[in-house]
Amino acid sequence: MSANRLSVGASPASPNLAVQEHVLRRRSIQEVPPRFLQPVENGGVRLLILENISQEAVAAFRTLGFHVDHYTTAMSEDELVEKIPSYHAIGIRSKTKITRRVIRAAPKLLAIGCFCIGTNQVDLKAAAAAGIPVFNSPFSNSRSVAELVMSELIALSRQLVERSIELRNGIWNKKSKGCWEIRGKTLGIVGYGHIGSQLSVLAESFGMRVLFHDVINIMPLGSARQVPTLSALLSEADFVTLHVPELPETTNLISAQQLREMKAGSYLINNARGKVVDIPALVDALKSGHLAGAAIDVFPQEPGSNGPGFNDQLNPWATELRNLNNVILTPHIGGSTEEAQRMIGDEVAQALSSYLGYGSTLGAVNFPEVDLRAITAEQGTQIRICHVHKNQPGVLRQINEALSPYNVEKQYSDSKGDIAYLMADIADVSRADVNKLQELIDSTDANILTRFLV
């Protein structure tokens, strides 16, 4: 597949220098400001932003001169297929699915931004094969999720949901039976990444004993202790909390067998991904009294927008789950704090803007990470080539032969799986030269996508 989706040209006197420097804060500070490359073809860069993403991120895109269409809800696959052909980038959260079909319907698409931790809602292989890097924010909401878990630990152990429901119905039921302090209890953390490790520190500050299980050996924080198997953790923990990605091997990670291995009277918390827990099996464990309670923030199928919709048509067990008083149900709000959304918006907006304007793929999850220092305003005759190609022998020779008549100021390439990415800055190139180079590179058999930033 060969494509030239967008060529861009320099804005000779950008009024948005402060925003541009903010977008480039990962780069070393330069005395001469970088030249942000503004679009001149295809009506400018068009961004489709869904799911009520941070308004600050939307404002930053617009300040940079991008055309932004912002929607507060998710879109279905059919809606995306109809809408996406005119856009160069899309920003989503967890509800919108970018499938292979959507990617095939997006001839201009250059980049995908996931304004959240996970990227399982995107077909990463199909995106990479089309020359589209995917960016996310893997760490920005870690604290928000960890704090939510701490609140759930206390709410479950003190039966706050049950007492609140009773009192709202006019029933005064002051009791201590079955209510516990979390001090001295054992918290089992499944997945000791950024969220799990932060949670570990918070839990210890409350006087809890912390065990964790992870597929790799990790240096624990504080007094936490890694256990070799999930079964060992389940059998010891008073509270089990899940912080793993959605993968084939984590689907139904907690099912009937694992629930039986948990201590009688223990609690399960899932703020990870909806398919990690077999919810019908969890309902059975709660009804039988083997588990004292649970907190669930994520579900296998979730409504695409706020309002009615969490029902049996979406998930066949929804009503049964909703009728359990000893369960805290929340609508995927683990990372939904003002602080987290602001940081996520900043990080992903920065990554998308850096790729669209400079070609940098730092932080891409499905793509080689390649970066060059920015072209400055003083280097007005330089152009940047961003060449996505199949990772096969002979490509660099072909590209360097095409560039041999020119002075290559800097060049860097890397590969990831079947995809490779090359960036090169060349000097003293006319517009006619650019057109000629475009034709030469597009004609190579390994070419996937080539952009010239001028």
Residues with catalytic roles: 273, 302, 332
Contact 178, 292 (CB under 8 A): yes
The label of the residue with tokens 């679009």 reads 39
**Rg of the Cα trace of the chain?**
25
Residues 6+ apart with CB under 8 A from 372: 358, 359, 360, 384, 410, 411, 412, 423, 425
Q: Work out the burial of residue 261: count CB atoms within 10 Å of its CB; fewer than 13 is exposed, 13-18 middle, 19 or more buried.
A: middle
Q: At what angle do helices 142-157 and 194-205 cross, to 10 degrees?
A: 50
Residues 6+ apart with CB under 8 A from 447: 2, 387, 388, 389, 441
The DSSP H or E segment spanning 49 is: strand 46-49
Q: CB neighbours (10 Å) of residue 173?
A: 10
Number of H-type helices and E-type strands within the chain: 15, 18
Contact 157, 181 (CB under 8 A): yes
Among 442, 390, 441, CA closest to 413: 390
Among 4, 18, 41, 46, CA closest to 352: 46
Distance CA 372, CA 6 (A): 19
Task: For residue 414, give both structure tokens.
Answer: 């890397």
Q: Beta 383-390 vs 89-92: how paired, if at all?
A: unpaired
Task: For residue 51, give both structure tokens.
Answer: 């799911």
Contact 113, 50 (CB under 8 A): no
Among 245, 244, 255, CA closest to 278: 255
| DSSP three-state, residue 205 | helix
Local structure of residue 20 (DSSP, 8 states): H
The label of the residue with tokens 């919810």 reads 279
Phi, psi angle pair for 209, to nearest 5°: -90, 130
Cα 183 versus chain centre, distance: 34
Among 41, 134, 128, CA closest to 91: 134
